[in-house]
Amino acid sequence: MPPYEIEPTRWPTAEEAARSRLFSPIRVGAFEAESRTWVPAMVPWRATEGGYVTPEVLDWYGRFADGRPGVIVVEATGIRDIPSGPLLRIGHDRFLPGLRQLVDVVRARSDGRTRLLVQIIDFLTIRRRPPREKYLRRFLAVTEDHRRVLVDSGRVDDGATEDAVKEALCTLAEEELRSVLAPREWEDLRMGYRERVGDMHIPRVAELPRVLPGLFADAAARARAAGFDGVELHFAHAYTMASFLSRKNERTDGYGGDPAGRVRLPLEVYGHVREAVGDAYTVGCRFLTDESIEGGSGIDDAVYYGERFARAGMDFLSLSRGGKFDDAKEPKIGEAAYPYTGPSGHECMPTVRIDAPGPFGRNLPLVAAVRARVREAGLSTPVVGAGGINTFEIAEAALARGDCDIVAAARQSLADPDWFRKVELGRGEEVRRCLYTNYCEGLDQRHKQVTCQLWDRDFDEPDPDGATDLRRSSDGKRRLLPPAWT
């Protein structure tokens, strides 16, 4: 499939921009956003191992704030007080000072014009793919099924010890081993162990409905205390809450099965969050229009969830797509599976190599379907659309058609954090346009500091804050921030 081109586009004059929908204000719950431009959550891997805000985190969001989008959503931030690698965390009050600083930086750098949300997330345990022998010797629990196949094929005697069974499994050829292991065991071996919301035999998974509402509510209360303008509940992609919404959720405790069961915990989480932060605070969520996996939720589910969330009183609905573990590529031994490596991951961050109709505004028809249902229900909840939105023409047309109320751009904003501002000032010709080839996502996948290929080797440009020593990535090869726009 030949790649789609980054086509020339007609940028508006400053007068046209001033009259546009894109640069008109909109109420989002307790605040008014100055424009309908939105930078959605993007993890840049700049927090400390302990989950704290660093100077690099401040610089990163400060740089986005220079471009004065209507809203910035801070990256997925963990609600539990557990080690999570260099992901921001909000699971304890000790994270508050750093988060307050982050709010202050965005206020100052945007002249108080950008509203700041934080995306709050829970995720289940996932482990790296183990070496085969380690898995068979250490992790596999020997079952009667394994034993029977090995006895039948004369590989072990009846009554062989567990260790003897494991040693016999180690000698099997790949295909033979696959036929002996249960599908879930085979997956643990090839992909690395991963917990599912349906693993009711694990007490911490069984009790998620009792634990998560409180954890989300406490995290949201901290976000308010830190000065954020609101929270975005992360109900999308490969994480716990999206797994509850998934058609693949087969829990039998009333929190799975039919759509009403699947949406129950997300609604209870929202209810507790609302109680914790009060009505005068913006709370919305991000969820999927389509999981884009076999047997997963589709647009019919999304339309139903959208209506339920809006009826419950959410202040915005931000829509994404795909990004699941179910179809992720097998990781290398010693690495963890990553939910953006398979076809559903491609739907989440579409590249110029995706199938028809290409990456640009690809999700808008699905976003429109959710919004239409919300409006039919008589609700005016703003809906945020994302996915390959890279020009004023696409953004303005989406708003004019009523596909969405707010336009989010992740990678285009990473390529050029000033792009919305350039467009508003009638200087669209100066926009550095995203190539949609996912160099940035490749870095994200390896948990490396995320940068963009269009500017990270540009050492001729001075540092945006005027400092002479450009902050560089840990390998010393890349600058960490886009050059200043003057």
**Which residues lie closer than 8 Å to 288 by C-beta, 6 or more apart?**
236, 237, 242, 245, 297, 302, 319, 320, 321, 322, 323
Residue whose CB is less far from ligand FMN, 286 or 432? 286
In whole angstroms, give the CA distance from residue 430 to residue 371. Answer: 33
List the single partner that 415 binds among ligand FMN, ligand SF4, none, CB under 5 to 8 Å by kind: ligand SF4
- Contact pick of 75, 185, 326, 456 for ligand FMN (by CB under 6 A): 75
Residue 451 contacts ligand FMN per CB under 6 A: no
List the single partner that 454 binds among ligand SF4, ligand FMN, none, CB under 5 to 8 Å by kind: ligand SF4
Distance in angstroms between the alpha carbons of the first and the last residue of the chain: 39
Residue 441 contacts ligand FMN per CB under 6 A: yes
List the single partner that 119 binds among ligand FMN, ligand SF4, none, CB under 5 to 8 Å by kind: ligand FMN
Nearest approach, Cβ of residue 184 and ligand FMN (Å): 27
List the single partner that 236 binds among ligand SF4, ligand FMN, none, CB under 5 to 8 Å by kind: ligand FMN
Length of the chain: 486
Residue 87 contacts ligand FMN per CB under 6 A: no
Nearest approach, Cβ of residue 216 and ligand SF4 (Å): 30
In whole angstroms, give the CA distance from residue 107 to residue 112. Answer: 4
- Asked whether the CA dihedral 63, 64, 69, 73 is positive or negative, the reply is negative
Residue 219: both structure tokens together: 């995290």
> Omega into 339 within 30° of 0, i.e. cis?
no
Q: With contact defined as beta carbons under 8 Å apart, do 480 and 59 qualify?
A: yes
List the single partner that 435 binds among ligand SF4, ligand FMN, none, CB under 5 to 8 Å by kind: ligand SF4
Residue whose CB is less far from ligand FMN, 168 or 450? 450
Residue 415 contacts ligand FMN per CB under 6 A: no
Residue 251 contacts ligand FMN per CB under 6 A: no
Task: Tell me which DSSP letter residue 373 carries.
Answer: H
Residue 109 contacts ligand FMN per CB under 6 A: no
Diameter of the chain measured on Cα atoms: 84
- Contact pick of 388, 428, 464, 482 for ligand FMN (by CB under 6 A): 388
Q: Which residues of 79-222 form beta strands (DSSP E)?
A: 115-121
Give the 3-state secondary structure of residue 145: helix
List the single partner that 286 binds among ligand SF4, ligand FMN, none, CB under 5 to 8 Å by kind: ligand FMN
Q: With contact defined as beta carbons under 8 Å apart, do 247 and 291 qualify?
A: yes
Q: What are phi and psi of 66, to 5 degrees?
A: -55, -35
- Asked whether the CA dihedral 194, 195, 199, 203 is positive or negative, the reply is positive
Q: Is 340 a catalytic residue?
A: no
Residue whose CB is less far from ligand FMN, 116 or 440? 440
- Asked whether the CA dihedral 322, 325, 329, 332 is positive or negative, the reply is positive
- Contact pick of 43, 212, 273, 314 for ligand FMN (by CB under 6 A): 43
Residue 450 contacts ligand FMN per CB under 6 A: yes
Please give the size of the binding site for ligand FMN, defined by CB under 6 A: 24
List the single partner that 437 binds among ligand SF4, ligand FMN, none, CB under 5 to 8 Å by kind: ligand SF4
Residue whose CB is less far from ligand FMN, 188 or 326? 326
Q: Which stretch binds ligand FMN (CB under 6 A): 150-158, 188-196, 272-280, 407-415?
A: 407-415
Residue 76: both structure tokens together: 């997925």
- Contact pick of 41, 88, 136, 212 for ligand FMN (by CB under 6 A): 41
Residue 302 contacts ligand FMN per CB under 6 A: no
Cα–Cα distance list, 108 to 27, 66, 101, 422 (Å): 22, 9, 10, 20
Nearest approach, Cβ of residue 13 and ligand SF4 (Å): 26
Q: With contact defined as beta carbons under 8 Å apart, do 318 and 384 qualify?
A: yes
From 239, 255, 338, 436, the catalytic residue: 239
In whole angstroms, give the CA distance from residue 388 to residue 367. Answer: 13
Residue 233 contacts ligand FMN per CB under 6 A: no
| Residues labelled catalytic | 239
